Structure 1
Amino acid sequence: MTRPQEDTIAMRALQGLENGSSSVRLQAALAVGTAPDPRFIDKLVERCAIEPDFYVREMLTWALTRHAPSMTVPKLVGELRSARTQARSQALHTLSKIGDRQAWPAITRALLTDADDEVARSAWRAAVALVPEGEEAELAEVLAAQLGCGGRTTQLSLSRALIALGEVIMPTLRAAMTDVEPRRRQHAIATERLLRDPDAGFELAIEEAKRMVALGRTAQEG
């Protein structure tokens, strides 16, 4: 294939990312990821911030993972300062998929405690994927400070993030199990249950934790 032909195909793919049809945008993102080209990166990052369709966003993320991290990561880190919540959330999601730890310093406490649940949840997943060895306990403390906050979906995401850090979370969980706030105690107990029994459902774990808190017991006391 000649270079002019390649350029024409590239331009069509880039134009397709802005098409009014989500199926066309999906195919365009697939085409861009199938034939990675540094010229695509800015447009992919730009579309991540505004793309309304979940499946297209996932394909945009996949397309970005197909490009060199040395070129994509700095662009995505820049998006973490955006005022647009979707830009921050999708950039964090993509960074977690790329898995390049040069992005770790950009996963700030502000992102981990973002007022927008979707941004915070994406930050938790990215942090767990990127945290350097030896810093897991410190991350666990930041995450555990949010035990008991949000709805069930947010709480489940936080539990999963903590559990992904492994046994290092236990000192922090034990402290939360004796917190004066019942919701924090419940969430900590449920998280400990899921750590011990990954097959236990979150709803069941929470309901069990509620009963234990009502009885004034902790997970260690059974």
Structure 2
Amino acid sequence: MAKLYFKFGAMGSSKTAQALMTKFNYEEKDKTVWLIKPAIDTRDDRVENGHRITEARSRIGLCAPADAIGEDDDLIELFAAREGRIPTDVIICDECQFLTGRQVEQLKYIVDHFDLPVLCFGLRADFQTLMFPGSKRLFEIADSISEIKSICRCGRKATVNARLDAAGNIITEGDQVCLGGNDKYVGMCYRCYYERTHAAEK
């Protein structure tokens, strides 16, 4: 029986690399993968011949084209339209924290009604340690939840996605979504996060 999987980790835990390696493993077995990514994340987009191309790209250099999913897109409708052209064996979603709760429910519908596995990779919480809507819904209805572990500089497990300013100080105010990589975010344990944020307030 197919399942909805949620694989979460802090910034720098190689979530996208694992998503792309999973894609490769399926394709090596002659399975067709539908790789999707919320359109709000444009960090890895490129323009070719006047057309914007969305990609999932990892820090170690792995990359693959992905279909951009808009906030108002209905994933059941998109899946049905694609299925008529390209039968799909598995769906992999990178940066799933940016999905809406409704879109997560649509992925769960696809799992249950089409017996198709869906693997979602993303963050659990934002820079204020609050859950993203997509991640929250995945915790509520995913069939399988697992953590992709990474470590803080101190050696403890990283659980917080700290946002940094240009000087490397931790920012605790701002919009929930602010795109960036290692230049703007660092994964750290809650203890280090607490100590640094309280030191900044003094």
TM, length-normalised to structure 1: 0.26
The structure with the greater share of residues assigned to helix is 1
Name the structure, 1 or 2, with higher relative contact order (CA <8 Å, separation 6+): 2
- Largest Rg, 1 or 2: 1
Q: Which protein is richer in strand relative to its size?
A: 2
